[in-house]
């Protein structure tokens, strides 16, 4: 491939099966992912992890910390700072309980995979250090789903800082994929005193990188990424600081992006609305494992 666009080998067959009515789309699961930023002399950098090559989904691709929503986090009224649940519900296009669970997922996954916690003892403070055996025990219990994130916040006497997040984008995995996610992308700044680490079992490498440099690496075919990742990187690139990106978040379009496939001149044309660079044209008689740009 000319660039680093991740493209599963079984997509052509699955697209044909969907068109023929022999494949039933699975319901996408809610998920959240966070583009964590910090300022440097050379401009803001974003925290990215590289998924292990052995992963069934997007192995070897660069992504942000993220994962699925825990349904338990819409049942418990957590201590909350920042915009109200009603505000978040309108911003995300969901009901208030679901909005809480999505925001909880964003903060929880950032803690689980990067060791960074967007919460504090009060509505205007943030935890300064999340290292130590007791913190690691709680983080491991969260990963194992021994208790919900809402319960974790209660145990620690912490307030979730929703004001430290900005909703940035929403992408839904194509209907022909076997693993589907309705993913909400957020932006946040690394809290003072905290530091990232590779706490994810799914990643073999983490980097801090300027969005523009990461996009150039993708364009050269050096960094493998899924369309949502490179699309959000390109939108981050113009900002001169993490604060600028956060300030711009309320103006970002949260219309869900869902890939579409159609037959045209003997080819399957795969498109992501509003993102022409990801268009793929696949011959209908192409065997499994191939695709043309």
Separation of alpha carbons 112 and 120, rounded Å: 16
Q: What does DSSP assign to residue 10? A: T
Say if residues 45 and 14 touch (Cβ distance below 8 Å): no
Q: How far apart are CA 26 and CA 263, in angstroms?
A: 22
* Per-residue pLDDT, 288: 42
What's the confidence (pLDDT) of residue 260? 85
Q: How confident is the model at residue 59 (pLDDT cuts 50, 70, 90)?
A: low
**Residue 12 predicted with pLDDT over 80:** no
Task: Give me the pLDDT at residue 10, please.
Answer: 75
Domains, the chain: 25-253 (3.90.79.10)
For residues 277 and 235, is the Cβ–Cβ distance under 8 A? no
Residue pair 38/251 in contact (Cβ under 8 Å)? The answer is no
Q: Which two tokens stand for residue 141?
A: 């219990």
Segment 80-108 shows an average pLDDT of: 96
Distances (CA, A) of 189 to 10, 74, 179, 292: 37, 25, 30, 38
Tokens standing for residue 105: 């997922």
Contact 46, 214 (CB under 8 A): yes
CB-based contact 282:292 (threshold 8 Å) = yes
Local confidence band at 214 (pLDDT 50, 70, 90 cut-offs): very high
Residue 2, pLDDT above cutoff 80: no
Instruction: Catalogue the E-assigned strands of 90-179.
Output: 119-120, 159-161, 165-172
Quote the CA–CA distance of 180 and 14 in Å, as a whole number: 13
Average pLDDT over residues 213-218: 95
291 pLDDT tier (thresholds 50, 70, 90): very low
Is residue 81 within 8 A of residue 91, CB to CB? The reply is no
Cα torsion for 237, 242, 245, 246, to the nearest 10°? Answer: 160
Residues 6+ apart with CB under 8 A from 222: 4
Average pLDDT of span 60-74: 89
pLDDT digits (tens, 9 = 90+) for 105-163: 999 999 999 999 999 999 999 998 888 899 999 999 999 999 999 999 998 999 999 99
pLDDT digits (tens, 9 = 90+) for 158-211: 999 999 999 999 999 888 888 889 999 999 999 998 988 766 667 688 899 999
SS3 at position 74: helix
């Amino acid at each position: 491939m000319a660039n680093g666009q991740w493209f599963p080998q079984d997509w052509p067959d699955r697209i044909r099966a969907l068109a023929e009515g022999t494949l039933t789309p699975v319901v996408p699961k809610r998920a959240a992912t966070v583009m964590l930023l910090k300022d440097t002399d050379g401009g803001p950098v974003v925290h990215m992890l590289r998924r292990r090559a052995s992963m069934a989904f997007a192995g070897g691709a660069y992504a942000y910390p993220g994962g699925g929503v825990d349904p338990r986090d819409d049942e418990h009224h957590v201590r909350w700072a920042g915009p109200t649940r009603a505000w978040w519900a309108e911003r995300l296009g969901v009901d208030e309980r679901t909005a809480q669970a999505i925001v909880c997922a964003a903060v929880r996954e950032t803690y689980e995979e990067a060791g960074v916690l967007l919460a504090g003892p009060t509505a205007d403070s943030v935890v300064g250090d999340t290292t130590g055996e007791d913190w690691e025990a709680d983080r491991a219990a969260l990963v194992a789903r021994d208790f919900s994130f809402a319960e974790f916040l209660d145990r620690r006497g912490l307030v979730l800082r929703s004001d430290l997040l900005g909703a940035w984008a929403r992408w839904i995995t194509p209907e022909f994929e076997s693993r589907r996610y309705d993913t909400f992308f957020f932006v946040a700044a690394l809290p003072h005193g905290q530091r990232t680490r590779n706490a994810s079992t799914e990643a073999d490498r983490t980097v801090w990188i300027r969005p523009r440099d990461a996009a150039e690496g993708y364009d050269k075919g050096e960094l493998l990424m899924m369309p949502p990742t490179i699309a959000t990187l390109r939108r981050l690139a113009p900002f001169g600081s993490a604060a600028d990106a956060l300030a711009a978040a309320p103006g970002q379009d949260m219309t869900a992006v869902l890939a579409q496939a159609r037959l045209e001149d003997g080819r399957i044309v795969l498109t992501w609305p509003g993102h022409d660079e990801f268009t793929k044209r696949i011959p209908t008689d192409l065997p499994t494992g191939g695709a043309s740009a």
